Amino acid sequence: MGNLFTIFVSPEMTFQRLKSSKLAWLICLIALMVISLAVIYLEMPIIEQTVLDSLKSNPQISPENYDSIMDGNRMFSYVIVIITSLASVFFGGLLFMLLNLIVRGEAKYMQLVTVAAFASLPGMIDGILTAILLKATNAQAINDISISLGAFIQDKGSILFKVLSIINPFSIWTLVLYIIGASVMMNRPKKQVAVWIVITWIILSFGSLLLL
């Protein structure tokens, strides 16, 4: 459990310890899912209001069906959080495994899953802070609060807002943990893995905007 905290203050030493651990990834994954569920719980009133407004604007949907649709959406939101947590960790491990082959590293797949899991923790802090601020400010939409450069953009639906929202201290923090963790597990210089990780992060982060 201590690794969940030391990863923030001494990441390299923590990853060195995690290198020989077989269950640390599981503990971290459980923590990620619990925090993610807590974040969704805090954001649920805003999510439900957004869904309700969408239903009311659709004359083809009867008001009698609102409750069942809302219940289904609520359940879907919690399930998708769990699936997303699992997918991000194990898919992240696969991407790191590909890098491991490219740089001829010494890491094993589950070691890289561990990197993906622990490097996701800063993102959880971002989620918690955002959810708390949404609650405290009585925000009407999820995009009303953004701990990123997107906070300086007034038009929350613009492409510029979406681009700048990617750049925040927590995503950069995660990127740094990716580099440190991959370097330790693969036993390769940080500069060597950093080039590949940064390029992949840029492609995936900005490429995802095409799907929005």
Residue-range domain boundaries for the chain: 3-211
- Residue 212 has a pLDDT of 54
Determine the pLDDT at residue 156.
67
Which of 95, 93, 98 minimizes the C-alpha distance to 112?
93
> Tokens 């649709």 sit at which residue?
69
The single-letter code of the amino acid at 44 is M
How confident is the model at residue 210, as a pLDDT?
A: 63
Q: How far apart are CA 131 and CA 139, in angstroms?
A: 10
Residue 135: the pLDDT is: 81
Specify the pLDDT at position 196. Answer: 95
Give me 190's structure tokens.
Answer: 């940080």
What pLDDT does 211 receive? 58
Number of other CB atoms surrounding residue 207 within 10 Å: 9
The pTM for the full model equals 0.86
What are the helix (H) ranges across the chain?
A: 3-9, 11-18, 24-56, 66-102, 109-119, 121-136, 159-166, 169-186, 190-207
Which one-letter amino acid corresponds to residue 33?
Answer: M
Predicted local confidence at residue 209, as pLDDT: 67
For residues 65 and 52, what is the distance between their CA atoms, to the nearest angstrom?
11
Mean pLDDT, 10 residues at a time, over the chain (212 residues)? 91 95 93 93 87 84 84 90 93 96 95 96 91 82 73 71 81 95 96 95 78 56
Reported as half-sphere exposure (CB side, CA atoms, 13 A), residue 148 has a value of: 25
